[in-house]
Amino acid sequence: MTTTSTTPADLDHLLSLVRTSVEVIARHQDEGGAYPASPTFSAYKGYAWFRDGSFIAEGMSRAGQVESVDRFHRWAGDLLLSRAEQVAALLRRADAGEELPVEDMLPTRFRFDGSDGQDPWWDFQTDGYGMWLWQLVEHTSRHGLPLEPHCEAIAVAVDYLLATWSKPCYDWWEEHVEERHPSTLAPVRAGLLAVAAAHGTDGTALLDGERVERSRAVAEQISALVAEEAMTSGRASDPSAAHLAKWFGSEMVDASLAACVVPFGLVEPGSAVAEATLEAVARDLEVDGGVHRFQADVFYGGGQWLLLSALLGWNHARAGREAEAWRHLRWIAAHATDDGEMPEQVPDHLRHPDFRQEWLDRWGPVAEPLLWSHGMYLILADELGLIPDTSETLS
| CB distance 332 to 357 below 8 Å | no
- Pick the catalytic residue from 52, 70, 159, 174: 174
> Does 49 sit near ligand BGC (CB under 6 A)?
yes
SS3 354: helix
Handedness of CA 186, 141, 64, 24 (dihedral sign): positive
Name the minimum Å distance from CB 364 to ligand BGC: 13
Of 129 and 173, the one with the shorter C-beta distance to ligand BGC is: 173
171 is catalytic: yes
Q: Which of 18, 36, 52, 114 binds ligand BGC (CB under 6 A)?
A: 52
- Contact window for ligand BGC (CB under 6 A) among 45-53, 89-97, 235-243, 274-282: 45-53
In the complex with ligand BGC, which residue's Cβ is closer, 164 or 373? 373
Tell me which of 58, 138, 297, 344 is the catalytic residue.
344
Long-range contacts formed by 213-221: CB under 8 A, 24+ apart = 214/162, 215/158, 215/161, 215/162, 216/192, 218/161, 218/162, 218/165, 218/188, 218/189, 218/192, 219/189, 219/192, 219/193, 221/166
| Span 161-190, contacts to ligand BGC by CB under 6 A | 172-174
Per-residue mark of binding to ligand BGC, 313-352 (x: CB under 6 A) = ----------------------------------------
- Concatenated DSSP letters for 106-120? PPSEEETTSPBPSS-
Q: Which is nearer to ligand BGC, 44 or 165 (CB)?
A: 44
> How far lies 323's CA from each of 2, 100, 284, 327, 387, in Å?
7, 47, 20, 6, 18
Closer Cβ to ligand BGC, 357 or 393, answer by number: 357
* 76 Cβ contact list (under 8 Å, min separation 6): 33, 50, 53, 132, 153
> Nearest approach, Cβ of 107 to ligand BGC (angstroms)?
12
| Catalytic residue (one of 52, 58, 138, 171) | 171
| Nearest C-alpha neighbor of 283 from the set 223, 238, 228, 332 | 238
Q: How far is the CB of 370 from ligand BGC (least distance, A)?
A: 6
Cβ 392 vs Cβ 66: under 8 Å: no
Sites for ligand BGC among residues 363-382 (CB under 6 A): 370, 372
List residues near ligand BGC by CB under 6 A. Answer: 37, 44, 49, 51-52, 172-174, 370, 372
Residues annotated as catalytic are 171, 174, 344
